[in-house]
Amino acid sequence: MILRRLRINSIKIAGERSFAIDQARGRLVLISAVFMLCYMVIAARVIDLTVIQGHLGHERTASLQDSHPSATAITRADVVDRNGVLLATTLKMASLYADPALITDAESTAKGLVKIFPSLSYGDTLQKLQSKKHFVWVQRNLTPHEQYAVLELGQPGLGFQRTDRRIYPQGELSSHLIGYTNVDNHGLAGIERSFDRFLGDGKPLTLTIDIRLQHALRREVQKAMSDFTAKAGVGVIMDVANGEVLAGVSLPDFDPHKAGAANSDAIFNRLSLGVYELGSMFKIFSTAALLETHGSPMSTTFDAREPLKAGRFTINDYHAQKRILTIPEVFMHSSNIGSALMGLEVGTKVLKDFYTDLGLLTPMEIEISEVGKPMVPDPWGDVSTMTASYGHGVATTPFQLTSAVSTIVNGGFFVKPKLILGADNDNKSDLRIVSPQTAESMRKLLRLVVSDGTGKNADVPGYSVGGKTGTAEKIGAKGYDRKRLISSFVGVFPMENPRYAVMVMVDEPKGNKESFGYATAGWVAAPAVARVVSSMGAILGIPVRAQNGVPEISASLKKYVRFEDE
Amino acid sequence: MKRMWRKYLTVFVLAGLSGGLLLQTSQSVQQAEDELRRLEIEVENERETIRVLHAEWAHLNRPDRLESLAGQYLELVPPDPSQMLIDPAAQLPNPFVPVMPSVKPSYLMNAQPVSTGSSPPLSVVKPKTKPSKPDESFNDLLDQVQNGGGE
């Protein structure tokens, strides 16, 4: 129209003005061409979006939303046991949120939600749905069934956000070692805490524990606890060569999925954080100190006829022999008097240094941050030396004790407890604490305790278990309480060439009919260790030792022992 | 004037052609990208499914669960150390040789009793097609047999 009029005008107007009109026309043509191009592009794009890829549109927007969180965040890595069995993993779970502005009928929606999630209260839910916000969490971590039920409500104001959730397929089985995380997947305890950054970066971890042994150990510690109506229990299985913890149990334990709801007693890690006076098990270390530093022959005698006066204490024997005892006799009858005299002979400084070398007096190094500080007598005088020789006045963690025993029986090489597999291939140290001769003597002595001494109940025919009992009185309101005991046993097998150390500790056991009322280590912890060893043999397929013909490793010590019936 | 029109026409046709080609290329790129994204999401979903299945597998194979199931359904108990061989390597058969013979041993085939009319039928314990009680244990069965013999 405009162009035509312009053309008509151009006919009328000629001459000097025609140039200006031409210019204006040219501009108008250009402008209309540009506009036409724009409309054409828009038209093409509309056709493109609606006709050509109209069918893709929905799918794309939906899937973009869906894939968003997984594309950006790295999932927290898995934790597996030494055989690759899954201990902790991260799964995506849907969490339900609501946009109250889009909720059409808040009351019926709230009713529907309460029906799906019985834990929600109707009032709270309704209040959330009627709020003025644009985003409120309704429920975290839905199961697929719940998610389906919510979708069936058909409420446009409800949506799902996929969030990561830490899952522990083995439940409470090793909750104290693996630990747990908070809602935001940050480790709060155990391996989850100490390797928080590492796991968060998506790097998986392999632990030294074997879930089968873990189960067997837990079962037996549980049984010992229920048989003797005890308060708590601890169990450790350690590879004596390198200190790898094959199993570690602290009971009562907790479900890591609901760590927040567990009480502090269940959360408490008795393996590495709890320090206990473990009693006569320390005779292993004081005897080793005597053999190592003085080279005393087995025939060395100690007068255990009379209770020993030490300051304000009187040292008595549980299994009193009331006679002069040789080293093997002191050890197998677990004579406190004999051990106290041994400690005096070793000397205060030497004994203290020896304990320190074994790692008993300083907080241990381990891959979890729950580490208890050992209780050490301060000042450490001669009386402390005497009591420390049979494990009183010194308190350590079960992990520390087991690794110190491992250090002595493995041939004398220092080991420390280890939870992560494969960092340095076999973790064998060449730091020698005791000589091979001392290690050999200690193996014989430990075997003697089980073959003829206080630990007879720990014997498993074919596996030549060696070990030491430890019964300690707990400290009550007025000094040591005779009724409240900590009964423990550390076993090592096979004694000819030790491979595994098994430690069981039971807190406040009460004697029962089978134990003739006794709640001491020989009746409570030793049988539990025997059952653990027996299960381990079956699980790991450990070959048994020929029982006829081959003399016991402890046989050579029998000549120093006077038996009752002789 | 005519020549100029032809020139414009050529330019327009060429421009149109190249525009069309460009559109087609961009469309195929778009479609390829969509396909890629779809596949990536599919892979991610499959990975997630595998993770879930791994977790479920680990959960179902919990030692305590297996133990209770074994106690429920198997007539087997963990071996006692006294049942173990001194030197397993020397005495156990090679685990890779099948333990079960592929053909039934001949004595099993010949074990069917031959019924001879007049004489009373031999008491042959026929295997039941279905266990009378599904949860009946082998020990229950043994008890029944022993009680029957005593009467």
B48 lies in a domain?
yes
Burial of A359 (0-12, 13-18, 19+ CB in 10 A): buried
Among the listed residues A176, A195, A222, A211, the one whose alpha carbon sits nearest the alpha carbon of residue B58:
A211
Nearest CA in chain A to B53: A91
Question: Per the domain annotation, does B77 fall within a domain?
Answer: no
Other Cβ atoms closer than 10 A to A371: 17
How far from chain centre, in Å, is Cα A472?
A: 26
| Token code pair at residue A497 | 């060439």
Q: Among partner residues A92, A460, A535, which is closest to B78 by beta-carbon distance?
A: A535
Average pLDDT, chain B: 68
What pLDDT does residue B150 have? 31
CB < 8 Å & 24+ apart, contacts of B48-57? B48/A70, B48/A91, B48/A92, B51/A89, B51/A90, B51/A91, B52/A91, B54/A86, B54/A89, B55/A86, B55/A89, B55/A91, B55/A167, B55/A169, B56/A169, B57/A86
Identify the DSSP state of A554. Answer: G
Give the Cα separation of A92 and A77 in Å (integer): 13
Task: Judge whether B116 lies within some domain.
Answer: no
Rg (CA), chain B: 39
- Is B23 domain-assigned? yes
- ∠ CA A490-A396-A529, nearest 5°, is 15
Cβ separation A91–B52 shorter than 8 A: yes
CA–CA gap between residue A511 and residue A508 (Å, rounded): 10
The pLDDT of residue A117: 85
Question: Residues of B with CB below 8 A from A545's CB?
Answer: 86
**Total structural domains within chain B:** 1
Q: In this complex, is the C-beta atom of A141 within 8 Å of any C-beta atom belonging to chain B?
A: no
CA-wise closest residue to A553 among A481, A410, A446, A457: A446
CA distance linking residue A351 with residue A358, whole number of Å: 11
**Looking at residue A1, what is its pLDDT?**
57
For residue A43, give Cα distances in angstroms to A38, A40, A47, A50, B75: 8, 5, 6, 10, 77
Token pair of A267 as six digits: 């959360």
Confidence (pLDDT) at A564: 62
SS3 B151: coil
In a domain, B66, yes or no: yes
The mean pLDDT value for A341-353 works out to 89
In sequence order, the β-bridge partners of residue A140 are none
pLDDT of residue A321: 74
From chain A, the residues in CB contact with B34 under 8 A are 53, 56, 60
Determine the Cα–Cα distance for residues B79 and A546; give it in Å rounded to an integer. Answer: 17
Confidence grade of residue A224 (pLDDT, cut at 50, 70, 90): very high
State the number of CA atoms in the 13 A half-sphere of A291 facing the CB: 28
Would the pLDDT of A204 be above 80?
A: yes
B36-89 confidence digits (pLDDT tens): 999 999 998 898 888 888 888 888 888 988 888 988 888 888 887 777 766 655
Which residues, other chains included, contact A1 with Cβ-Cβ below 8 Å and sequence gap of 6+? Answer: none
Nearest by Cα to A214 from A183, A263, A177, A182: A177
Rama region for A178: left / alpha / beta (φ>0; ψ in -120 to 50; rest): alpha
Q: How far apart are CA A515 and CA A502, in angstroms?
A: 21
Question: To which H or E segment does residue A172 belong?
Answer: none
Banded pLDDT at A137 (limits 50, 70, 90)? confident
What pLDDT does residue A512 have? 82
Q: What pLDDT score was predicted for residue A13?
A: 58
**The token pair that represents A395 in the structure block:** 């308190």
d(CA A234, CA A558): 33
Q: Please state the rounded mean pLDDT for residues B107-114.
A: 42
Distance CA B73, CA B68 (A): 9
Task: Compute the distance between CA of residue A445 and CA of residue A431 in angstroms, rounded to an integer.
Answer: 23
Q: Which residue of A has its CA nearest to B77?
A: A538
Coil, strand or helix: which one is A395?
Answer: strand
Average pLDDT for chain A: 84
Partner residue opposite B44 with nearest CB, options A56, A70, A86: A70
Picking from A46, A215, A253, A529 by the largest number of B CB atoms within 10 A of its own CB, the best residue to mutate is A215
Residue with tokens 């006679």: A323
What would the 3-class secondary structure string for A76-104 be? CCCEECCCCCEEEEEEEEEEEEECHHHCC
Chain A residues inside the 8 Å CB shell of B58: 85-87, 89, 169-170
Residue B61: inside a domain: yes
What's the rounded Cα separation, in Å, for the pair A295 and A345? 12
Tell me if B27 and A53 make a contact (CB, 8 A cut-off): yes
Range of the domain at B19: 2-70
Tell whether the model's pLDDT for residue A427 goes beyond 90. Answer: no
Q: Is A554 part of the annotated catalytic residue set?
A: no
Contact (Cβ atoms closer than 8 angstroms) between residue A398 and residue A274:
yes
Residue A301 distance to chain B (closest CA, Å): 38
Dist CA B21 CA B26 (whole Å)? 8
Indicate whether B147 belongs to any domain.
no
Beginning with the edge strand found earlier in the chain, give each strand of the sheet holding A479-493 in spatial order.
A245-251, A232-239, A500-507, A479-493, A466-476
pLDDT digits (tens, 9 = 90+) for A510-542: 888 777 878 888 889 999 999 999 999 888 888
The answer to which of A239-243, A370-374, A523-527, B136-140 has the lowest mean pLDDT is B136-140
Minimal Cβ distance to B55: which of A66, A169, A543: A169
Q: DSSP string spanning A403-445? A: HHHHHHHTTSB----B-BSSTTTT-----BSS-HHHHHHHHHH
Distance CA A216, CA A542 (A): 15
Q: Which residues pair with A467 in a beta bridge?
A: A491
Residue in A174, A175, A280, A488 annotated catalytic: A280
pLDDT of A541 reads 81
- pLDDT surpasses 60 at A313: yes
Q: Which helix (H) or strand (E) holds A174?
A: none
**Helix pair angle (A398-409, A283-294), 10° resolution:** 40
Q: Which residue has the higher pLDDT, A513 or A230?
A: A230
CA distance B18 to chain A (A): 14
**Residue A56 CB neighbours (<10 A):** 15
Question: In which residue are the tokens 């402008």 written?
Answer: A31
Say what the ipTM of the complex is: 0.75
Banded model confidence at residue A95, pLDDT cuts 50, 70, 90: confident
pLDDT at B1: 63
Least confident of A65-79, A201-215, A430-444: A65-79
Identify the helix (H) or strand (E) that includes residue A161.
strand A158-167
The Cα A439–Cα A406 span in angstroms is 10
pLDDT digits (tens, 9 = 90+) for A379-411: 888 888 888 888 888 999 999 999 999 999 988
List of E strands, chain B = none
Average the pLDDT over A426-438 and give the result: 78
The CATH topology of domain A214-560 is Beta-lactamase (3.40.710)
Instruction: Please tell me chain B's helix, strand, coil percentages from 3-state DSSP, rounded to the nearest 5.
Output: 60, 0, 40
Q: What percent of chain A has pLDDT over 70?
A: 91
On whether any CB of chain B is under 8 Å from the CB of A223, the answer is: no
Rounded to a whole number of angstroms, the CA Rg of chain A reads 37
Q: Above 70 in pLDDT, residue B19?
A: yes
